[in-house]
Structure 1
Amino acid sequence: MKNFLKVALVAVCFLTIGNFAKAQTKIGYINFDALIGAMPEAKTVKTTLDTYSKQFTDELAAMQTELQTKGTEFQKTQTSMTDAARSAKQAELQDIQKRMQDYNTSAQQKFDEKSQELIKPLSDKARIAVEAVAKEKGYSYVLNSTQTQFVVAPAGDDLMAAAKAKLGIK
């Protein structure tokens, strides 16, 4: 009888530990980019970034027009130019192309920095909401479904609706 009680006690312990381990590894997922995109502030950020980007686009368009104008002029007059003048004009055209490439690289870096600067508050706000929802619902891990391809994912573990509700998004 004592052996039976010991075996029963060990079995209960294993079952309890197994359930406890299961409860601690509850995993949820959310499309974090879609959550940020659904936030009302995202529209303002997008408008600001579009305006910021247009400045660079306009400058590049002006440089492209200058390059085309000077290139057309060069093609028309190159036969009557001296070798020195032709070389100087070709160097000028190459310089414009290099400036365009450098400006494009610089503009992309500035745009990326501005984008990160404007999106960071939204990202932080969304992360806090997701953390709160995960804590309320008992999730140990929440995966970003935009960075992970799920083969099977139960609808119950998608935290999008709960996170939107936490942020006041319909």
Structure 2
Amino acid sequence: MKRAWIVFLAMMLIAGFAQAELKIGYIDSEKILLDYEESKDALSKLEAQNRRYQEEFQEMQVRYQNLLEEYEKKKFVATDLWKKQKEEEAEKLAMDIQNYQMTKFGPQGEIYKKEAELMAPVLEKINNILKKIGAEGGYDYIIDTAQRSIVFANPKHDLTSVVLYELSKATEIK
């Protein structure tokens, strides 16, 4: 009887471990970024800088448009020298506009650099809080619904070393 009880207890423990559930939480990073005060401040500074660049860009476009209109109005009565100067001026201004657009708004532009500079401390704080909540709360995973990604994973579920080991074994066999 005692032996049956021990076997029953062992089977219950094994079944309990087999049914252990993962603890998963989720966040909405967009809401966090919109509601977190430091994030609001950073985004406000970024928007102000973006507005200044947009205004400068629009002023350049207006100057270019005015130059073209002036050229069109006077091209039939102007000297060849004047026309050549205006054409060169328009060409230079068009290149300046394109260059301005790339340096301010392009993929490596100042707006993206400024965003990275302003948001880096905010994102670092958020990531540190996520790690703390994940570890202290016993979470296995925390998922970001806005980005559709995992923002915290318990290291015990990291299979990287296992995959690397299996790959090295597979390479040795060949």
Q: Is 1:101 equivalent to 2:101 in the alignment?
A: no
The structure with the largest helix share of the pair is 1
Matched residue, 1:61: 58
What CA distance in whole angstroms lies between the structure 1 residues aligned with 2:76 and 2:14?
A: 92
TM-score between both structures, scaled by the size of structure 1? 0.71
Amino acid at match of 1:130: L
Amino acid at match of 2:129: A
User: Could you say if the C-alpha distance between residues 3 and 91 of structure 1 is closer, same or farther in structure 2, counting changes exceeding 3 Å?
Assistant: farther
- Check whether the contact 2:33–2:40 (CA below 8 A) recurs between aligned residues: no
- Check whether the contact 2:29–2:147 (CA below 8 A) recurs between aligned residues: no
TM-score between both structures, scaled by the size of structure 2? 0.69
Gaps of 5+ in 1: 150-170
**What is the Cα deviation at residue 57 of structure 1?**
1.7
What CA distance in whole angstroms lies between the structure 2 residues aligned with 1:121 and 1:6?
A: 55
**What is the Cα deviation at residue 103 of structure 1?**
0.6
Amino acid at match of 2:147: Q
1:107-129 CA-to-partner distances (Å, cap 9, x unmatched) read: 02101111111111111111222
Gaps of 5+ in 2: 150-174
What CA distance in whole angstroms lies between the structure 2 residues aligned with 1:47 and 1:5?
A: 67
Amino acid at match of 2:26: Y
Seq. identity, %: 23
1:65-109 CA-to-partner distances (Å, cap 9, x unmatched) read: 210111110110122346675455334323322221211111021
What CA distance in whole angstroms lies between the structure 2 residues aligned with 1:46 and 1:104?
A: 21
Matched residue, 2:42: 45
How many residues are aligned here? Answer: 146
